[in-house]
Structure 1
Amino acid sequence: MLTTRPELVGDFGMVASTHWLASSTGMSVLERGGNAADAAAAAAFVLQVVEPHLNGPGGDAPILLWDDNANAVSVICGQGVAPQAATIGRFDELGLDLVPGTGLLPAVVPGAFGAWTLLVERWGSWTLRDVLEPAVHLAEAGHPLLRRVSAALGTVEEMFRRDWPTSAATWLPDGKVPAPGVRFRNPVLAETYRRVVAEAEARTTERAGQLAAARDVWYRGFVAEAIGDFCANNEIMDTSGRPHRGLLTAQDLADWEPAVEEPTTFQYGDYTVAKTGPWGQGPVFLQQLALLAQTDLADTEHLSADWVHTITEASKLAFADREAWYGDPRFVDVPLADLLDPAYNVERARLIGAKASMDNVPGRPGGRTPVMPTRWSTPDGSRPAAGAGEPTIAPNGDTRGDTCHLDVVDQNGMMISATPSGGWFQSSPTIPGLGFCLSMRGQMFWLEEGLPNSLQPGKRPRTTLTPSFALRDGKPWMAFGTPGGDMQDQWTLHFFLNVMHGGQNLQEAIDAPDFHSLHMASSFYPRTAEPGRLLVEERLGAQAIAELQRRGHDVSVVDPWSLGRVSAVARDGGWLKAGSNPRGAQGYAAGR
């Protein structure tokens, strides 16, 4: 198979991400003696600068880590929680039945900084100053503005001028949308990071201590104070069509700490796949595998209509369970063992028929009765752009964002998969004096009582951010992931199956024609669903597409290279390997 770029193979280190500057930064860290933790953090901070329409310092960051010393996968939870003032009753008082997708009301504690500094503190070897230096340089000296960033700014220019003047001051230099390729700077963000480093270094000369001190500065110092003051003292227009103050306070930040947890895992043949807990959608990947294990997929022609149909129908069942059962396990009992039990999935797999299902059918794990949101509606005739990822719909209704991903493996065996996101400039006003925006992840909560993902103070929203890790024969094998909101655990599943059953290498599996279903309720405002709708890349072929339509799928054929943003690194046969996505023309892998 002819690929868009080679699968990289070496034995020193590999970095793959959604932006070439982040990948080159991570590789430069490995070349200068840093390990995978140092490289991943440095690359992640760069992504915040060069992909500000996709993530930012005020965002979220779930991280999966393999450390040979521990011989285990660890999950670092960089997903912040709802403010203490965020209750369903409070939103009822405001006359809202959905959490808005923009503004300040959906803001949760920004978890990314805590997660990345904890990673470097416990598993890294570099100082905070060294890890942040590439990002500070790019924010201060400037970086070439992506075409997509310029385009995104164009869609919110009027709104920034009218409603979010602090954002206009940061993102519209000289009062206009910057053109693609110009040198774009964010000196306020650079100064924020410089101040955090200076205050941390003033407290201690010890490396790990400085990283812990930096978290204290961020969550209990000037950063938290600025966030709390801005939320309390500004009424910001949002997707409800009315301005609202924020609910997030400095005390909410002070009360939060990043956590290290065990992963959720599932054994599929010789492979063990590890994901986050059900505070993220990650286990839905495992549920799809559990369902597919009960089908004849392994004997099905790769990328045929049968292949796409079987996977799509399994996805519909798994995502229905996501809606019925997933939530922060500190607040709700999530029956993961029953959801992944073979007996349960034998019964569920019988629902996969020859025709496309238009139903949304959660199961009854352990005999429990599912409770679903009452809202499972179809759009008002307008459809999202094909291939759009996480929607960050601005008040003008037409802005969409996405997220980022990065994977790193070093010569000593440490391997990392992370999906940083949140804090997009389209969804939240820029905080003056800090140079970044807040995460609107709170829009994922339901404002209905009694659901696993119902809004509660201090609760994690069921994020779509879902890095992936796989072991083969019990040994660490592959770290992978993608941007894409609800599509993440579809695109990455397809990639994994392309490698496993399709016999493809990393790059071939990434380049293969992709598809995804929009059947499930969106995790993002305005929470719509499109029963039966299936997007497929044109390269899948006319014969397969016609057969899928015959089976009842509402097929939309999209551009040949438009779905998916998967990247991956692997340890395989004594070599380190990497692959990156050509779609979007900015993801790259680096290694030797």
Structure 2
Amino acid sequence: MKKYLLFLLCITSSITFAQRLPNEAPGSKPTQKPVLHGKDWVAITGKPLAATAGAQLFYQGGNAVDAACAMLAATATMWDVLSWGGETQALIYHPTLKKVIAINAMGVAPTGATVEFFKSEGMDYPPAFGPLAATTPGTAGGLMTMLAEYGTKSLEEVLAPAMKLAQGYPIEAQTANAIEGGKERIKQWPYSKKVFLPHLGEEREGPQVGEIFIQNDLYQTLSKLVETERAALAAGKSRSEAIYAANDRFYRGDIAKEIVRGAREQGGLFTEEDLATWKAKIEEPLMVNYKGIEVYKLQEWTQGPALLQSLNILENFDLKSMGYNSTQYIHTLYQAMSMAFADRDFYYSDPAFDPVSPMKGLLSKEYAKARAAQINMEANDPNIGPGDPYPFQGGVNPFKDLLAKQRETVAVNLPGEPIQGPDDPYLLEFQSGTTSIQAADKDGWVVSITPSGGWVPAVIAGNTGVGMSQRMQSFVLDENLNPYNLVEPGKRPRVTLTPSLALKDGKPFLSFAVQGGDSQDQNLLQMFLNVVEFGMNVQEATEAANFNTYQMQSSFGDHAIKPGAMTLREDTSPWVRNELAKMGYLMDFWSKTSGPINGIWFDWENGTLWGGSSNYGDDYGIAW
């Protein structure tokens, strides 16, 4: 009997590795990657070369904003997994103001992008690929706004690594293979074909892994921005004024004209006015307090508030006593996330447009408590739909009839079977695109970015080298799905992109982000709880066994929902598998389920920075 108990103890320890022995030091458990320990700075992003770009700016005396902008420029140039015509969303901790600032550099629907237009084209949603999938470019404007307002370096200094990459760099396998896999679409677009397919007519028409990949058009576009900045500085303009002069050339000058010409030639809807009137926004983030920790997210034009709603619901449960990744823990998180994402799917949208999402009610503790009380603790509820937050903000729901109809139809697409592994075509949309950027420095600047859009295969806009976004597909055309997120010219779609920052005792506690479409906030929620509830260090938390749920409307493609489906790590114990199956879950199992998450934890006792970068993909970090 004693041997049997000892065997069970060993197995349990291997599964719940974060539950340490008393006085055991953080970081003593083995991880596949080491913690990044830094005293002066940490720079982490989706590719090693791009992380090196951030390190270069730090070595040149830049702050975390400068380094983050250099990494953003590098990742956009490397198509990881975005381009210069994509979108940028960021949270910045300002150490002097002691507050979190939100950057909204999401592009908008162009002129003519209406519900009626897309329906007249026989579409149920705006398309996932091609010129009609594109919102206006946001990457460039987001970068230049952040740099001008909060950086210290010139645009020329920040763009130098990206320009070097554009002149030619050894392309890595992920991007090279994505180009080759998407080459039939790429051949439809002449400017994309020119850039992406250097070996037309050969067996492999895209670049070989390790081949020097050259982007002359993009290099010329970036050179024009630097040229404009130099001229403005020579004319006596300040650093920020010179950067904004370059921004004007991109959105109102010859670069904008070529973007619009190239987009329209290929069937896009952009006008010069669409670009000229767009600008990045500096906003107030949304925040909830979870057990004394302030957790910040971007506004409801992203899915970020779903993580905040989930935390509010989960605060009503003793998660730690359930045990890390126990049956009850997984079930409780699954149900809470299903509720939060059902609200996301029905209510979230661009707050600059009417009707405005009821965020006060959605983020209220009272609403969360009411939602928590609705959870069936014995079985999965495939019919979870959106709640009614309006009474919790003193209002009346203007869409009660649509809400009732939505609840009736939410489980129509029951899957009948689990996800068919990592190569399931459904996942190619559900987890589409994106990278993440994390930077922090000894002076207290912290930057968390989840940029995306314009991923391979992308339509390149004329002779600019700028890949156009695919974000229009995140709008809906049917008010029964979401009466707030209907497509409209000038409107931002509700996107999956969702950087995160957390403060404790008025100081940065954790900065974290992840790539992966609709899976982002569920992975980030679990990573946060790994640290807060189970005492993992930041590297352990990024590598830990998460589960993924598909009981939400996909933000891509045909917007399918798969109630009860989930992905677990393959070392999930047999008894947990059996118990979850009895509760109605449809499971598949992967070797890695961590994200890939990147994060920075702040050790105020020792005055150091701890960086974590998941073992899932190509993400990489450097610290000093």
Candidates 349, 358, 365, aligned match of 2:372 = 349
Aligned-pair distance for 1:400?
A: 7.7
* Alignment correspondent of 1:90: 117
Change (3 A) 1:379 1:454: farther
SS at match of 1:480: strand
Q: Give the whole-Å Cα distance in 2 for the aligned partners of 1:390 and 1:31.
A: 43
Matched residue type, 1:474? G
* Alignment correspondent of 1:165: 190
After superposition, residues 195-274 of structure 1 pair within 5 angstroms as: 195-205=224-234, 206-234=238-266, 245-274=267-296
Question: Do the aligned partners of 1:379 and 1:528 also contact (CA within 8 Å) in 2?
Answer: no
Change (3 A) 1:36 1:389: farther
* Alignment correspondent of 1:434: 464
Change (3 A) 1:53 1:158: farther
After superposition, residues 482-521 of structure 1 pair within 5 angstroms as: 482-521=514-553
Change (3 A) 1:575 1:113: same
SS at match of 1:62: strand
Q: Give the whole-Å Cα distance in 2 for the aligned partners of 1:424 and 1:452.
A: 27
* Alignment correspondent of 1:579: 612
Aligned-pair distance for 1:570?
A: 2.5
Unmatched segments (≥5 aa) in structure 2: 1-28, 392-396
Aligned length: 571
Q: Give the whole-Å Cα distance in 1 for the aligned partners of 2:522 and 2:151.
A: 32
* Alignment correspondent of 1:179: 208
Aligned-pair distance for 1:150?
A: 2.1
* Alignment correspondent of 1:143: 169
Instruction: Give deviations 1:452-487, integer Å, cap 9, x for gaps.
Output: 111111111001100000001222212110001111
* Alignment correspondent of 2:352: 330
* Root-mean-square deviation (Å): 2.1
Question: Do the aligned partners of 2:431 and 2:516 also contact (CA within 8 Å) in 1?
Answer: no
The answer to whether 1:12 aligns with 2:43 is no
* Alignment correspondent of 1:239: none
Q: Give the whole-Å Cα distance in 1 for the aligned partners of 2:165 and 2:112.
A: 37
Candidates 45, 49, 57, aligned match of 2:77 = 49
Matched residue type, 2:178? A
* Alignment correspondent of 2:62: 34
Matched residue type, 2:192? S
Q: Give the whole-Å Cα distance in 1 for the aligned partners of 2:425 and 2:545.
A: 17
Question: Do the aligned partners of 1:15 and 1:569 also contact (CA within 8 Å) in 2?
Answer: no
Aligned-pair distance for 1:119?
A: 0.7
Aligned-pair distance for 1:562?
A: 4.4
Q: Give the whole-Å Cα distance in 2 for the aligned partners of 1:185 and 1:230.
A: 20
SS at match of 1:513: coil
SS at match of 1:110: coil
Change (3 A) 1:500 1:387: farther
Q: Give the whole-Å Cα distance in 1 for the aligned partners of 2:615 and 2:446.
A: 23
Matched residue type, 1:77? N
Matched residue type, 1:181? G
Q: Give the whole-Å Cα distance in 1 for the aligned partners of 2:363 and 2:426.
A: 27
Instruction: Give deviations 1:273-295, integer Å, cap 9, x for gaps.
Output: 00000011110000000110112
Instruction: Give deviations 1:472-527, integer Å, cap 9, x for gaps.
Output: 12222121100011110000100000000011000011111121101101011111
Question: Do the aligned partners of 2:178 and 2:456 also contact (CA within 8 Å) in 1?
Answer: no
Q: Give the whole-Å Cα distance in 2 for the aligned partners of 1:249 and 1:257.
A: 15
Q: Give the whole-Å Cα distance in 1 for the aligned partners of 2:596 and 2:93.
A: 22
Instruction: Give deviations 1:270-315, integer Å, cap 9, x for gaps.
Output: 2000000001111000000011011221321012122111111110
The answer to whether 1:282 aligns with 2:310 is no
SS at match of 2:44: strand
* Alignment correspondent of 2:31: 3
Q: Give the whole-Å Cα distance in 2 for the aligned partners of 1:387 and 1:27.
A: 34
Q: Give the whole-Å Cα distance in 2 for the aligned partners of 1:103 and 1:412.
A: 43
Question: Do the aligned partners of 2:43 and 2:623 also contact (CA within 8 Å) in 1?
Answer: yes
Q: Give the whole-Å Cα distance in 1 for the aligned partners of 2:316 and 2:532.
A: 16
Aligned-pair distance for 1:544?
A: 2.1
Aligned-pair distance for 1:542?
A: 2.9
SS at match of 1:571: strand
Aligned-pair distance for 1:255?
A: 0.4
Q: Give the whole-Å Cα distance in 1 for the aligned partners of 2:438 and 2:414.
A: 36
Aligned-pair distance for 1:539?
A: 2.6
Aligned-pair distance for 1:53?
A: 5.3
Matched residue type, 2:193? A
Change (3 A) 1:409 1:524: same
Question: Do the aligned partners of 1:15 and 1:408 also contact (CA within 8 Å) in 2?
Answer: yes
Change (3 A) 1:18 1:127: same
Aligned-pair distance for 1:222?
A: 1.7
SS at match of 1:577: strand
Change (3 A) 1:392 1:257: farther
Candidates 87, 104, 122, aligned match of 2:131 = 104
* Alignment correspondent of 1:553: 585
* Alignment correspondent of 1:414: 445
SS at match of 1:348: helix
Aligned-pair distance for 1:95?
A: 2.4
The answer to whether 1:405 aligns with 2:436 is yes
Q: Give the whole-Å Cα distance in 2 for the aligned partners of 1:570 and 1:563.
A: 17
Instruction: Give deviations 1:111-152, integer Å, cap 9, x for gaps.
Output: 111111111101111101110000000110x22222121221
SS at match of 1:409: strand
Aligned-pair distance for 1:40?
A: 0.3
Candidates 360, 379, 398, aligned match of 2:384 = 360
Matched residue type, 2:330? V
Change (3 A) 1:159 1:232: closer
The answer to whether 1:448 aligns with 2:478 is yes
Change (3 A) 1:220 1:97: same
Matched residue type, 2:621? A
Q: Give the whole-Å Cα distance in 2 for the aligned partners of 1:199 and 1:381.
A: 56
* Alignment correspondent of 2:11: none
* Alignment correspondent of 1:242: none
* Alignment correspondent of 2:159: 132
Q: Give the whole-Å Cα distance in 1 for the aligned partners of 2:213 and 2:573.
A: 41
Q: Give the whole-Å Cα distance in 2 for the aligned partners of 1:507 and 1:381.
A: 33
Question: Do the aligned partners of 2:418 and 2:586 also contact (CA within 8 Å) in 1?
Answer: no
Mark the structure with the bigger radius of gyration. Answer: 2
Aligned-pair distance for 1:84?
A: 2.6
Q: Give the whole-Å Cα distance in 1 for the aligned partners of 2:253 and 2:427.
A: 32
Give the % identical residues.
33
SS at match of 1:260: strand
Change (3 A) 1:170 1:410: same
Instruction: Give deviations 1:186-211, integer Å, cap 9, x for gaps.
Output: 12211110012113322343321211
Matched residue type, 1:441? R
SS at match of 2:106: coil
* Alignment correspondent of 1:423: 454
Question: Do the aligned partners of 2:148 and 2:240 also contact (CA within 8 Å) in 1?
Answer: yes
Question: Do the aligned partners of 2:418 and 2:588 also contact (CA within 8 Å) in 1?
Answer: no
After superposition, residues 306-317 of structure 1 pair within 5 angstroms as: 306-317=328-339
SS at match of 2:88: coil
Q: Give the whole-Å Cα distance in 2 for the aligned partners of 1:456 and 1:225.
A: 23
Q: Give the whole-Å Cα distance in 2 for the aligned partners of 1:289 and 1:389.
A: 31
SS at match of 1:174: coil
Aligned-pair distance for 1:381?
A: 8.6
Q: Give the whole-Å Cα distance in 2 for the aligned partners of 1:125 and 1:389.
A: 44
Q: Give the whole-Å Cα distance in 1 for the aligned partners of 2:103 and 2:245.
A: 18
Question: Do the aligned partners of 1:228 and 1:249 also contact (CA within 8 Å) in 2?
Answer: yes
Question: Do the aligned partners of 1:390 and 1:486 also contact (CA within 8 Å) in 2?
Answer: no
Matched residue type, 2:389? P
Q: Give the whole-Å Cα distance in 2 for the aligned partners of 1:249 and 1:294.
A: 50
Q: Give the whole-Å Cα distance in 2 for the aligned partners of 1:145 and 1:279.
A: 33
Q: Give the whole-Å Cα distance in 2 for the aligned partners of 1:53 and 1:268.
A: 33
Aligned-pair distance for 1:541?
A: 3.0
Matched residue type, 1:411? K
* Alignment correspondent of 2:564: 532
Matched residue type, 1:482? V
